[in-house]
């Protein structure tokens, strides 16, 4: 495949990541503006996050490294943010990923574009959970990722602060965030969506490309 094809897939993936992160920021703003109305959703996300950790805990019972991974998820990862990011990634994959794939000629059929969008979401979750769980194996790399995520989060807060009089709730979000609430897990989830989307796009492209290259029965 040509370099242009790979660049096209990168553009689609970056579009999904940027859009999903913007939606995640929107979710945070809405959760502050409508705190009472959003409370059941936040509670559900929190319980779902705890359920995911408990499921992993049962799955790796008896494994030393498995317990290390689960303890890290439980103690250091905001699973509520991870769960809340999933609908944002799904929306971005459908609303941005599918049209971009069609516009840039990344896939031939609508069915392929739907399959890529729907596959990218669980792929993102698996990638993120693996990253959050086993980062102890690459501490320096993960520390650099956290610094980058924090810098993106800080830049987002500065941008929202500048638009505080235009975007309802933006200034309230920045005030809450500066008091200690970090959104770097949103940034990491958005980055994971970029990587997962690119990988899924590449797998589909390679699979269908190889199929097109196979001779038909009457040509064999």
- The domain limits of the chain are 3-213
Work out the average pLDDT over 193-210: 85
Tell me the per-residue pLDDT of 10-66, one tens digit each, with 9 for 90 and over: 999 999 999 999 999 888 878 877 878 889 999 999 999 999 889 888 888 878 777
Q: pLDDT-based confidence at 218, cuts 50/70/90? A: very low
* Long-range contacts of 175-183, Cβ-Cβ distance < 8 Å, separation of 24 or more: 176/32, 177/153, 182/78, 182/150, 182/153, 183/24, 183/25, 183/28, 183/81, 183/153, 183/156
Tell me the per-residue pLDDT of 102-114, one tens digit each, with 9 for 90 and over: 887 656 688 888 8
Work out the average pLDDT over 115-143: 86
Query: Does pLDDT of 219 surpass 70?
Result: no
CA 149 – CA 182 distance, rounded (Å):
10
Mean pLDDT of the chain: 82
Work out the average pLDDT over 155-179: 69
Work out the average pLDDT over 141-146: 88
């Amino acid at each position: 495949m040509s370099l242009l094809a790979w660049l096209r897939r990168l553009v689609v993936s970056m579009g999904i990541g940027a859009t999903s992160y913007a939606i995640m920021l929107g979710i945070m703003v809405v959760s502050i503006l409508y705190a009472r109305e959003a409370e059941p959703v936040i509670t559900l996300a929190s319980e779902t996050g705890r359920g995911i950790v408990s499921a992993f805990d049962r799955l790796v019972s008896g494994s030393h490294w498995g317990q290390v991974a689960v303890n890290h998820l439980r103690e250091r990862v905001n699973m509520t943010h991870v769960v809340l990011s999933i609908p944002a990634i799904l929306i971005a994959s459908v609303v941005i990923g599918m049209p971009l794939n069609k516009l840039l000629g990344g896939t031939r059929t609508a069915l392929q574009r739907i399959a890529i969008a729907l596959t990218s979401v669980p792929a993102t979750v698996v990638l993120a959970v693996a990253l959050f769980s086993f980062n102890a194996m690459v501490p320096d790399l993960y520390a650099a990722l956290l610094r980058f995520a924090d810098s993106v989060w800080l830049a987002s807060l500065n941008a929202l602060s500048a638009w505080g009089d235009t975007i309802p709730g933006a200034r309230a979000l920045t005030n809450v965030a500066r008091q200690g609430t970090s959104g770097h897990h949103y940034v990491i989830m958005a980055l994971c969506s970029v990587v997962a989307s690119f990988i899924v796009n590449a797998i589909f492209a390679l699979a269908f490309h190889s199929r097109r290259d196979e001779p038909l029965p009457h040509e064999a």
